[in-house]
Structure 1
Amino acid sequence: MIETEMSLKEHDESRQGEAVMLSDNKEQNGRKLYIESYGCQMNFADSEIVASILLDKGFSTTPDYKEADVVFINTCSIRENAEQRVRNRLKEFESAKLKKPGMIVGVLGCMAERLKSKFLEEEKLVDVVVGPDAYRDLPNLIEKVDDGSRAVNVLLSREETYADINPVRLNTNGVTAFISIMRGCDNMCSFCVVPFTRGRERSRDPYSIVKEARDLFKAGYREVTLLGQNVDSYKWSPQEDDAAANHTAITFAKLLEMVAAVDPLLRVRFSTSHPKDITDEVLYSIARHENICNYIHLPVQSGNSRILELMNRTYDRAWYIERIDTIKRIIPDCAISTDVITGFCSETEEEHQDTLSMMDYVQYDYAYMFAYSERPGTLAAKRYADDIPEEIKKRRLTEVVEKQRAHSLFRLQQQVGKIHKVLIEGFSKRSDKDYCGRNDQNAMVVFPVDARYKVGDYVNVMAETCTSATLIGKIV
């Protein structure tokens, strides 16, 4: 998988109109909700929390925003073009609102705090603005709008984890699901807005995480992805008056094993790891459990130590290489993906070459690749000049993309001729005569439908050939 702002499949791509099947018998209030999500997996998980909160208040959902009474767009502030997309989409909602008086339009998530005044006052595009830690307040805010006011709550919390809320699974295949294990981030990477939009890091009660995983398994799900801005720094300690106070602190390695123990048929993935925090203990936990997938997303951002220091990544090139070597030693068949930023402030041509050489060293299976986009309020915006011309940024990005395309193909070619355990996730996008699913290393596998198997089953697939993004084979 190659994702870049040069491709059609962008990292902040939205899922248009996520619909949800309502099995609850809660009394309906006749109002319909539409949620559209942009950005990282955390945003999609947050949309499921929002849907749950409003479902409890009697809302139903619709896949068509023109039919909705309340329209929310869950936003991302990672890159500038994401904000422009949201603004354009809000103008479309504004047109629908003219045809449906009383429709409420709101902005959720990371963009809310930073652009609240623009959305509410200057451009008057929305009625309600809600930050990532204020979703419990949504019913009250909607009431305020019903009474004729505009409403806003972007307060950040040091405690909120939504641990007691059972997410409503949106746009689900019924097989794979996200579980948020922590919120916020304490890392202050100079290019990143997340610490300012999502607040300080706090870990969720591990027993609520295990319960959510167990409930998902009972409902037929066979794979969960544990989500956090930096999952390796997950750490939960019971309070003195907690019923679990006699338990020791839970690290991420321990949490992985607790979730893996739910059932051997429940696959466990996680994202995202930070090179400074990923421990040997985590790697050995992966190696010990067959159902913890051999796949790690380990963002490098740059292969040059000076640039990494300017990015405040708190590791250097040598540290990152040591972590890669350790992963390959403890988990020999582990797939590794990464994030790369080209054209960061003052990056020289030689430093760009260090990134390319790092890619050659690791030979990543997948990558998310972007040209640097200065975000207002970040440390980089305050300290450094965004001094690399756009044409140079894009040329360097093209070189990174071309190299990753070659590495992705090479890594898949190494898996051809082997048998892979694949979880059937659904039908191929191209044909309902083919199933698709991922193997342990997160590679997508396509193979002919076999009437003996259904979505949610594990099958053994012999990979016979591949494209640059997909293994192609047959059930054996």
Structure 2
Amino acid sequence: MSYLSFFGYIFAIQQNNMGNEKVIIEKNQGQALLTEKKEGNAKKVYLESYGCSMNLNDSEIVASILSEEGYNTTHLMEEADLVLVNTCSIREKAEQTVRKRLEKYNAVKRINPTMKVGVLGCMAERLKAKFLEEEKIVDLVVGPDAYRDLPNLLAEVDSGRDAVNVILSKEETYGDVSPVRLNSNGVSAFVSITRGCDNMCTFCVVPFTRGRERSRDPKSIIEEIRDLVNKNYKEITLLGQNVDSYLWYGGGLKKDFKNASEIAKATAVDFAQLLDMSAKEFPNTRFRFSTSNPQDMSVDVIHVMAKHKNICKYLHLPVQSGSTSVLKRMNRQHTREEYIELIDTVRELIPECSISQDMIAGFCGETEEEHQETLSLLEYVKYDFGFMYAYSERPGTPAEKRMEDDVPLATKKRRLAEIIELQRKHGHSKIKQFVGQTVEVLIEGSSKKSDAHWKGRNTQNATVIFPKGDEKVGDFVNIYIEDCTSATLLGKRK
């Protein structure tokens, strides 16, 4: 599991794919999620989501379940019958943000006492007792595997009782729930293919809040993609805490695959096969996937990426540290040398592929020599962009229980600044290489800065801005790149 990889977390420092350092601020998350109104639904739910793409996808599942219970979404908290926040527990500041939102909800609830407040997701599992019994700030607490139980839990609340279900499932994948697409641009969508994580990285709370790893039936995945394609979506991102660890053998936990029958093993579908199947079945649809773990990224997946034009030439390969000794303390199941070998394979088989990283500065016991190994790895790989963080200890993780967070904050900040500066240099160099090239761009919408320009992304995940013509949202167009800023490619229609 990546520390914060595909997540776009609040307050995290990101080096984006165009080399521009920025802070991901709260306004990019926590917005009230909206769906089309369903005729006949009389109740209203206000639904906010924080954290990762998996959380956003889970909110779509929750909206679908509640829609069948008579709820339409609203962006006005004051008119809501039910207020839900889907939470992230991976960083302390994310939890602080959610707590501030809960204060706001309860201020509104004092004016509208019939309104119910609930917490969903990772914080729900970790802080259920505090929320319900000690602080008494919510009416219901629902873990990531218990969304189907929402109707029963709401009935409990209506009866005047607190309601909680944070039981982690060995089977739940929500494979038969058709998510309601929230705040969608109508062009790109997420499809969850796995849930949970088995990796037990010492810094990460996810295995304890989302449970063990299990995969969806590939038939249900293909059907969900087909439904999206029929609705004119042009780009699908396959999601999982550890997406390339996908393995379907008829159901059950991945860790139990070794006990499966010989027939189940012989007919099992792994991620390379699923990716190949999806690309073949929908040749006019772009595919991305996130997040990958280097230890599980097979050469077969890289070959499939190289084989299909409609699989984007972009890999997020979170490494966390360039030092084998730090990786061992993190319980990452790969060494520096193995990671470099993987990078070399990608460069050989897909020379045009862009690569991004996650990096943690100042993990427990990190020496200056180990930090220098991280900087040298950055120099070797020259990532297109990355997500970089100073280590923050999370309650309940193996690192919190067994290791001392002994790197001074000032040292963490200095090391992080050095990592960011090096990434900025490499990112800027990478984006300039597109100037003078013609790239295929999927139009996602108008530019934020100019209604006269379109915004889209190329296969390497770089943002491209160009003047509007007779194109429309969802079109694939060839754009000649004339110039770039540190953050964006600038071009014109070819």
Q: Sort the TM-score into its range (normalised by shorter chain).
A: over 0.9
Question: How far, CA to CA, are the matches of 1:337 and 1:87 in structure 2?
Answer: 31
Larger RCO (CA under 8 A, 6+ residues apart): 2
> Which among 379, 382, 396 is matched to residue 377 of structure 1?
396
Deviations 1:149-193 (A, max 9, x none): 111100000000000000000010000000000100010100000
Q: Percent same amino acid among aligned pairs?
A: 58
1:455 aligns with 2:473: yes
The separation in 2 between residues aligned to 1:145 and 1:384, in whole angstroms, is 41
CA contact (8 A) 1:238 1:247 kept: no
Indicate whether 1:8 and 2:8 are aligned: no
Identify the residue that residue 236 of structure 1 maps to in structure 2: 248
Return the alpha-carbon distance in structure 2 between the equivalents of residues 245 and 325 of structure 1. Answer: 34
The equivalent of 2:276 in structure 1 is 257
- Which of 308, 311, 321 is the aligned partner of 2:340? 321
Find the counterpart in structure 1 of residue 96 from structure 2.
84
Residue in structure 2 matching 1:417, options 407, 428, 436? 436
Question: SS state of the match for residue 276, structure 1?
Answer: helix
Deviation at 1:404, TM superposition (A): 1.4
1:208-247 counterparts in 2 under 5 A? 208-238=220-250
What does residue range 419-458 of structure 1 map to in structure 2 within 5 Å? 419-450=438-469, 452-458=470-476
Give the SS at the match of 1:299.
coil
In 1, Cα distance between the equivalents of 2:28 and 2:402?
30
Map of 2:299 onto structure 1 = 280
Q: Distance in 2 between matches of 1:346 and 1:81?
A: 23
Whether 2:492 is the aligned partner of 1:474: answer yes
Decide which moves more: 115-124 or 292-301.
115-124
Instruction: Flag the 1:82–1:177 CA change in 2: closer, same or farther, 3 A.
Output: same
- Per-residue deviation at 1:194? 0.5
Question: SS at 1:261's partner residue?
Answer: helix
For residue 314 of structure 1, report the CA deviation from its aligned partner: 1.1
- Alignment counterpart, residue 32 of structure 2, candidates 10, 17, 20: 17
Partner of 2:82: 70
- The residue identity in structure 1 corresponding to 2:315 is I
| Contact 2:322–2:370, Cα closer than 8 Å, also in 1 | yes
Do 2:216 and 2:251's aligned partners in 1 also have CA atoms closer than 8 Å?
no
Counterpart in the other structure of 2:64: 52
For residue 381 of structure 2, what is the aligned residue in structure 1? 362
CA displacement at 1:70 relative to structure 2: 0.8
User: Structure 1 length as normaliser, TM-score?
Assistant: 0.96
Partners of 1:12 and 1:298 lie apart in 2 by: 27
Of 398, 418, 435, the match for 1:399: 418
Match of 2:316 among 284, 289, 297: 297
2:170 to 155, 158, 178: 158
| In structure 1, C-alpha distance between the alignment counterparts of 2:392 and 2:473, rounded to whole Å | 40
CA distance in 2, matches of 1:155, 1:13: 30
Distance 2:79 2:348 in 1: 54
Instruction: Report the residue type matching 2:310 in the other structure.
Output: N
Partner of 1:122: 134
- Distance, in Å, in 2 between the alignment partners of 1:21 and 1:250 is 35
Q: How far apart, in 2, do the equivalents of 1:138 and 1:370 lie?
A: 35
| Partners of 2:414 and 2:380 in 1: CA distance | 21
Shift of 1:130: 0.5
Q: Does 1:172 align with 2:150?
A: no
Cα shift readout 1:354-403 (whole Å, capped 9, x = no counterpart): 11111111111121111101011111111100011111111111111121
Summarize deviations over 1:100-154 as a string: whole Å, max 9, x none.
1211111100111111111112222111110000000011111111111111100
CA distance in 2, matches of 1:273, 1:195: 16
Per-residue Cα deviation, 1:12-39 (whole angstroms, up to 9, x for no partner): 95241111123x55x31x1111111111
Code of the aligned partner of 1:73: V
Identify if the C-alpha distance between structure 1 residues 13 and 368 changes in structure 2 by more than 3 Å, giving closer, same or farther: farther
SS at match of 1:189: coil
TM-fit CA distance, 1:268: 0.4
Separation (CA, whole Å) in 2 of partners of 1:167 and 1:106 = 20
Query: Is structure 2 residue 215 aligned with structure 1 residue 203?
Result: yes
Are the equivalent residues in 2 in contact too, given 1:341–1:371 (CA < 8 A)? Answer: yes
Counterpart contact for 1:11–1:39, Cα < 8 Å: no
**What is the total number of aligned residue pairs between the two structures?**
471
Distance in 1, matches of 2:26 and 2:322, equals: 21
Q: Which residue of 2 aligns with 1:464?
A: 482
Q: Are 1:36 and 2:48 counterparts?
A: yes
Matched ranges for 1:144-155 at <5 A: 144-155=156-167
Report the Cα distance in structure 1 between the residues aligned to 2:70 and 2:61, rounded to whole angstroms.
15
Letter in 1 for 2:424: R
Alpha-carbon distance between aligned partners in 1 of 2:296 and 2:142, rounded to the nearest angstrom:
31
Structure 1: 5+ residue stretches without partners: none
SS of equivalent residue, structure 1 residue 225:
strand
Distance 1:227 1:347 in 2: 31
Measure the CA separation in 2 of the matches of 1:453 and 1:409: 29
SS at match of 1:442: coil
* In 1, Cα distance between equivalents of 2:251 and 2:220: 15
* Comparing 159-168 and 348-357, the one that deviates more: 348-357
Contact 1:37 1:44 in 2 (8 A): yes
Offset at 1:457? 0.5
Length-normalised TM-score, structure 2 = 0.92
Aligned pairs for 1:93-112 (under 5 A) are: 93-112=105-124
- RMSD after superposition: 2.0
The answer to whether the Cα contact below 8 Å between 2:203 and 2:397 also exists between their aligned partners in 1 is yes
Q: Distance in 2 between matches of 1:351 and 1:307?
A: 7
